[in-house]
């Protein structure tokens, strides 16, 4: 079977296997204040894909969309998500 895989596919499989063998070092904490969910995320720079993915270990900036804002502060990120009123009240997803 491995003879049919391209070099790129074998590389992807190697990364998947490596990720199963090594535990990702990270801290993820979540809080909810009213209709806002706040997420703190920190990852070790020793992770295969870096702290922020794609090999990036340092990131400073702001990302925003209609319902989310992410603030990257060099080694960790804070994410603010606005929750729909129905979900905040404990209603059905839909």
The model scores a pTM over 0.85: no
Please report, for the chain, the start and end positions of each structural domain, with discontinuous segments joined by +.
25-94
Tell me the per-residue pLDDT of 53-63, one tens digit each, with 9 for 90 and over: 777 888 999 99
Structure tokens at 79: 């994410």
Closest CA to 49 of 81, 18, 93: 18
CB 70 within 8 A of CB 41: no
Tell me the per-residue pLDDT of 9-43, one tens digit each, with 9 for 90 and over: 888 888 788 777 777 788 999 999 999 999 999 98
Q: What is the DSSP string of 15-78?
A: HHHHHHHS---EEEEEEEETTEEEEEEEE-TTSTT-SSSTT---EEEEEE-SSEEEEEEESEEE
Stretch 4-12: mean pLDDT, rounded?
Answer: 87
Structure tokens at 8: 């790129």
């Amino acid at each position: 079977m491995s003879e049919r895989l391209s070099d790129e596919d074998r590389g992807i499989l190697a990364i998947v296997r490596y990720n199963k063998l090594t535990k990702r070092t990270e801290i993820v904490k979540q809080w909810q204040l009213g209709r806002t969910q706040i997420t703190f995320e920190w990852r070790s720079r020793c992770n295969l894909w870096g702290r922020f993915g794609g090999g990036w270990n340092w990131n400073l900036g702001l990302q925003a969309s209609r319902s989310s804002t992410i603030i990257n502060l060099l080694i960790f990120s804070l994410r603010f998500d606005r929750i729909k009123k129905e979900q905040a009240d404990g209603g059905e997803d839909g």
